Amino acid sequence: MLGTLTKRLFGSANDRRVKGYSSRVDAINAAEAEFQNLNDDELRAKTAEFRAALEAGKTLDDLLVPAFATVREAAKRALGQRHFDVQLIGGMVLHEGGIAEMKTGEGKTLVATLPVYLNALSGRGVHVVTVNDYLAERDAGWMGQVYNFLGMSVGVIVHGKSDQERKAAYAADITYGTNNEFGFDYLRDNLKYDIRAMAQREHAYAIVDEVDSILIDEARTPLIISGPLEDRSEFYTTIDKFIPDLVPEDYEVDEKMRTATFTEVGNEKLEALLVEAKLMKGDSLYDVENVSVVHDLQQALRAHKLFQRDKDYIIKNGEVIIIDEFTGRMMPGRRYGEGLHQALEAKERQPIQPENQTVASITFQNYFRMYDKLAGMTGTAATEAEEFMDIYRLEVVSIPTNVAVALEYCPRHCRESRTV
């Protein structure tokens, strides 16, 4: 009861947070007439003026009001669009490293130009992260008109770019790209031997569009770069020939746990077969030198005793293709790991593809936490506000709409109101 009364009197914490930006919004509005009177060259010269002020000791916060006023005027001239007051507030939330929750149609793409320009003044580079290549190219070309008008360079990272093109895009003041491209470029950079060959610069500031999708839904999705191991196809073919010679007392199979192991009798028989094939190292099958051999023998046993053709996998065009156990659909391109897929290929007398090993891997969560300052935009973030704070230390601020939302009531057929 007391909490409800307090909320009515003073507003919610979010309302008070939004109201706290009013003084700077008023200052930007007050400066609008002054910036309207500048010609294009004078407006463009503001960028050099702001950078000189930063070098002289000013902070980005000190420059927020004139920088936002500059971008608003530049957007009017380059795009024919003027930032509304609520969009200025959204820009301030993003600049502070928060999440601006704005309803669909409120112009989040335009909102981002304000903090992007301000933070790009530092010269450290700003990354704007989208969910697909189309949006990255669209936004870079569209909002790039504002940045180019103010003398800033814009790059875009999409699939198919060469290393030279990527390096040039990251060297720009502002770089648009997808979460996948940014993540994989980071992994590729860490595999290079010369720092001069690396594409990315430092991770200073990033704004993530559809932030709930990327930082929550896909947070633990691993980005993986793998490389082939040495060709061991002959080895797999050789040990595969051992399995049909085994009898039931040589092994134990647990269908429920999907495991298969050799008995003591089976181990003795395998030792004799390995010695004969000159694949045995040391005196015992379980000497440390034979660890990988034992592992591959167990995978061969699993391939023969646990996996059935046309149930767990099929053969198509010389490939062993996995069948999803839940949907029954083929999964081309997916392969079992740890040598099992190679064991199945040997069993079915198909070409054996080299094993892959993971050489670099990172999750989206760990990648984006490397940025000195991270911000995000979405239409639905309040429900995940606690997760954003716990994982990324990002506060969600709900930005009011520019025009109040009307409510249409359906007294006869529905009890709930719906927005129009």
Mean pLDDT of the region 356-382: 92
Does residue 126 carry a pLDDT above 50? yes
User: How confident is the model over 364-384, as a mean pLDDT?
Assistant: 94
Q: Is the pLDDT of residue 142 over 50?
A: yes
pLDDT digit string, tens, across residues 157-181: 999 999 999 999 999 999 999 999 9
> Per-residue confidence at 282, pLDDT binned at 50, 70, 90?
confident
Phi first, then psi: what are they for 144, rounded to 5°? -60, -25
Which homologous superfamily is 233-354 in? SecA, preprotein cross-linking domain (3.90.1440.10)
Is pLDDT of 195 > 50? Answer: yes
- Supply the pLDDT for residue 278: 86
pLDDT at 238: 92
The residue-averaged pLDDT of 266-279 equals 90
Say what the pLDDT of residue 363 is.
95
The residue type found at 66 is P
Strands ordered across the beta sheet of 126-130: 154-157, 174-178, 126-130, 205-209, 373-378, 99-101, 396-398
- Given a cut of 60, whether residue 407 has pLDDT beyond it is no
Lowest mean pLDDT among 60-64, 79-83, 101-105, 205-209: 101-105
* 414 band by pLDDT with thresholds 50, 70 and 90: very low
Q: What is the pLDDT of residue 230?
A: 74
Give the pLDDT of residue 110: 97
Judge whether residue 415 has pLDDT over 70. no
DSSP string across 134-171: HHHHHHHHHHHHHHHHTT--EEEE-TT--HHHHHHHHH
Asked whether 401 and 86 are in contact (CB, 8 A), the reply is yes
* In the block, residue with structure tokens 């929550």: 216
Q: What is the pLDDT of residue 138?
A: 97
**pLDDT score recorded for residue 326:** 83
What is the average per-residue pLDDT within 96-113? 95
Mean pLDDT within 149-154:
98
CA distances from 126 to 21, 87, 95, 123, 342 (A): 23, 19, 11, 9, 44
Domains of the chain: which residue ranges?
A: 2-224+363-419, 233-354
Q: What whole-number distance in Å separates Cα of residue 420 and Cα of residue 412? A: 18
Q: What percent of the chain has pLDDT over 70?
A: 94
Q: How confident is the model at residue 8 (pLDDT cuts 50, 70, 90)?
A: low
Interstrand relation of 313-316 and 319-322 (parallel, antiparallel or unpaired): antiparallel
User: From its phi and psi, is residue 201 left (phi > 0), alpha (psi between -120 and 50) or beta?
Assistant: beta
pLDDT tens for 302-351 read 999 999 999 999 999 999 999 988 888 999 988 888 899 999 999 999 99
Average pLDDT estimate for 230-247: 89
Q: What is the CATH number of domain 2-224+363-419?
A: 3.40.50.300
- How high is the pLDDT of residue 412? 44
Distance CA(228)–CA(239), nearest Å, equals 21
The per-residue pLDDT of the chain, averaged, comes to 91
DSSP string for residues in 16-27: HHHHTTHHHHHH
Q: How far is it, in rounded angstroms, from Cα 357 to Cα 224? A: 10
Residue 416: per-residue pLDDT: 40
